């Protein structure tokens, strides 16, 4: 077992079958966490909150939060466990209302021209395949069906969609809803309003999934949706050990031993170092953890049934370095706010202390920050904290959501985590500071920092 310590970083010769197995265990796409062989880490509190909102009569659901935290997987897993029928429609920035309707329709052939409904819901290796489609029968050529499909989707209204959902007792899951144009979002909000004005089965409702300012946009385009669309905001895992547990679930599914269950004492003694390295690389984000798991497991020779602590730590360091290279150019605009707004520095310290990729609430942050200021003999107004939040939101560091911006989370959790890692790394901290000063010297708009002012990058360890 001494080979567990080898440091060869070359890619081993692994089979396509092994890569497919690794892809099923660590998949960055949305998954449905049901079935004996599915890798799924329970998030009971979040699932219960979503269930309460979903089964609230006469309302719809908006599931939002940072990218990569598992919003789609949580929603589809809930629906699968409840055995609920649903339509799954992902949006793009170019999806129009006719495009949206076309995704609910499909042409089929029959001897008579008519309209019927068909629900196709299933699993493919734990991934969602559910789709309600209105089937258009035709006795003509396939090209005639496509032409009829195009014409039908062009004249469909919100009433047609409601009737179809009610006839199938199905929910409508709209993914990547933040990408919807204002026109499409307006029509979808009208669809919500229409469904709440009539008697519908409890499970017939819209479920919006997205990030950014999705919830506030919905209320903006249709204020009547207040109290009719209930918000559930999902963040990263709340405990750094959840990240390690998520990773080991995948290793276990692949039959791989790891430092958590190794027979080698030296490997077990490095467990805490592995947990810290994994968290520093992925910060409790399911999407990043899946990517990390793929990196580690794919490099394992198929005949070898273990992964070493050294391999896990090495892969984690590579991911941390990659995050730095990818996002470091975005840091100066955030650093400028931290330099200019003292309250923003206190706010960022509080966010990292709580967990930068989690969901935060403005009032809780203010109470915590005000208590710390009072302990130092200072006073802190709620308006100062609000201003700091708005300044950080203006540079796309924070997203302020809820009805009045009372809920907040980071816009890019991986980038924010990379910034936090750099804050604790003296060399990278100095690189960021030098880059900020170079940019400021060119613009002539940023005063040089006095050496006695203290480093605005100083923060508590996340």
pTM, rounded to two decimals: 0.81
Residues 174-183 have pLDDT tens digits of 999 999 999 9
* Domains of the chain as residue ranges with CATH: 44-108+118-132+155-233 (3.40.50.300), 239-327 (no CATH), 328-453 (1.10.10.10)
Centroid of chain to Cα 336? 27
Position 24 confidence tier, pLDDT thresholds 50, 70, 90: confident
Which tokens belong to 313? 């730590």
Of 215, 319, 291, 290, give the one whose Cα is nearest residue 33: 290
pLDDT in tens, 59-73: 999 999 999 899 999
Give the separation between CA 247 and CA 315, rounded to whole angstroms.
13
b (16+ CB within 10 A) / e for 86-118: bbbbebeeebebeebbbbbbebeeeeeeeeeee
pLDDT (average), residues 308-315 = 95
3-state DSSP call for residue 136? strand
**Predicted local distance difference test score (pLDDT) of residue 341:** 94
Per the CB < 8 A criterion, the answer to whether 181 and 93 are in contact is yes
- For residue 147, what pLDDT is reported? 74
Q: For 254-261, what is the mean pLDDT?
A: 93
**How large is the average pLDDT for residues 357-377?**
94
pLDDT digits (tens, 9 = 90+) for 151-173: 878 888 999 999 989 988 999 99
Helices (H), 328-381: 331-340, 342-354, 362-375
Please indicate whether residue 121 or residue 354 has the higher confidence score (pLDDT): 354
How would DSSP label each residue in 240-281?
Answer: HHHHHHHHHHHHHHTT-B-TTT-S-HHHHHTHHHHHHHHHHH
Measured in degrees and rounded to the nearest 5, phi and psi for residue 290 equal: -65, -40
User: Tell me: the pLDDT tens digits for 384-441?
Assistant: 999 999 999 999 999 999 999 999 999 999 999 999 888 777 666 666 666 555 554 4
Place 105 in a pLDDT band, splitting at 50, 70 and 90: confident
Q: Identify any residues that bridge with 398 across adjacent strands, giving them in sequence order.
A: 410
Task: Please enumerate in sequence order all residues whose Cβ is within 8 A of that of 49, keeping only pairs 6 or more positions apart, or say none.
Answer: 232
Which of 39 and 70 is assigned the larger pLDDT? 70
Residue 14's pLDDT is 65
Q: Does position 344 have pLDDT exceeding 50, yes or no? A: yes
**Of the candidates 195, 189, 234, the residue with the CA atom closest to the CA atom of residue 216:** 189
The pLDDT > 90 percentage for the chain reads 56
Cβ proximity of 122 and 172 under 8 Å? no
Average pLDDT over the chain reads 82
- Give the 3-state secondary structure of residue 376: coil
Q: How far apart are CA 169 and CA 186, in angstroms?
A: 24
Parallel, antiparallel or unpaired: strands 131-138 and 105-109: parallel
Distance CA(211)–CA(231), nearest Å, equals 12
- How far CA 83 is from CA of 59, 78, 87, 358, 455, in Å, comes to 20, 9, 13, 29, 54
Most confident range (mean pLDDT) of 112-126, 281-295, 297-311 is: 281-295
pLDDT at 119: 37
Q: Phi and psi dihedrals of 323, rounded to 5?
A: -60, -40
Asked whether the beta carbons of 360 and 397 are under 8 A apart, the reply is no
Q: Please say whether the beta carbons of 180 and 44 come within 8 A.
A: no
Query: How many angstroms from the chain centroid is the CA of residue 177?
Result: 13
Residue 126 clears pLDDT 50, i.e. is over it: no
Kindly state the tokens that stand for 96.
């129009």
Q: Is the model's pLDDT at 231 over the cut of 60?
A: yes
pLDDT surpasses 70 at 107: no
Burial bucket for residue 26 (CB in 10 Å: 0-12, 13-18, 19+): buried
């Amino acid at each position: 077992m001494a080979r567990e310590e080898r440091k060869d970083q070359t890619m081993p010769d692994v089979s396509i079958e092994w890569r497919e197995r690794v892809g099923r265990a660590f998949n960055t796409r949305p998954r449905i966490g049901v079935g004996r062989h599915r890798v799924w880490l329970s998030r009971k509190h979040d699932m219960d909150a979503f269930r309460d909102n979903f089964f609230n009569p006469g309302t719809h659901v908006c599931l939002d939060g940072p990218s990569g935290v598992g919003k789609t997987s949580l929603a589809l897993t809930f629906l699968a466990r409840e055995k609920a029928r649903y339509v799954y429609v992902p949006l793009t920035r170019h999806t129009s209302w006719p495009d949206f309707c076309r995704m609910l329709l499909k042409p089929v052939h029959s001897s008579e021209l008519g309209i019927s409904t068909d629900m196709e819901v299933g699993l493919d290796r734990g991934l969602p395949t559910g789709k309600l489609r209105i089937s258009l029968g035709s006795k003509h050529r396939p090209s005639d069906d496509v032409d009829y499909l195009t014409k039908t989707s062009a004249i469909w209204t919100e009433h047609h969609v409601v009737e179809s959902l009610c006839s199938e007792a199905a929910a409508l899951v709209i993914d990547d809803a933040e990408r919807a144009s204002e026109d499409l979002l307006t029509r979808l909000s009208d669809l919500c309003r229409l469904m709440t004005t009539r008697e519908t089965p409890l499970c017939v409702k819209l479920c919006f999934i997205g990030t950014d300012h999705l919830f506030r946009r919905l209320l903006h385009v249709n204020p009547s949706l207040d109290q009719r669309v209930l918000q559930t905001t999902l963040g990263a895992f709340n405990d750094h050990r959840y990240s390690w547990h998520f990773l080991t679930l995948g290793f276990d599914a692949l039959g791989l031993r790891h430092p958590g269950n190794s027979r080698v004492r030296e490997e077990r003694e490095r467990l805490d170092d592995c947990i810290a390295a994994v968290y520093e690389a992925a910060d409790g984000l399911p999407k990043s953890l899946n990517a990390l798991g793929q990196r580690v497991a794919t490099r394992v020779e198929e005949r070898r049934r273990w992964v070493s602590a050294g391999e896990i730590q090495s892969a984690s360091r590579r991911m941390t370095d990659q995050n730095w290279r990818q996002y470091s150019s975005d840091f100066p605009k955030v650093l400028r706010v931290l330099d200019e707004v003292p309250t923003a520095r206190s706010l960022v310290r509080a966010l990292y202390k709580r967990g930068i990729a989690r969901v935060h609430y403005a009032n809780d942050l203010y109470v915590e920050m005000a208590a710390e200021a009072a302990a130092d003999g200072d006073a802190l107004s709620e308006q100062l904290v609000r201003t700091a939040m708005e300044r950080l939101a203006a540079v796309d560091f924070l997203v302020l959501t809820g009805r009045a911006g009372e809920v907040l989370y980071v816009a890019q959790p991986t980038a924010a985590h990379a910034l936090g890692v750099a804050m604790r790394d003296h060399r990278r901290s100095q690189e960021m500071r030098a880059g900020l000063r170079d940019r400021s010297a060119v613009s002539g708009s940023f005063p040089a920092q006095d050496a006695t002012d203290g480093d605005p990058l100083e923060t508590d360890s996340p």
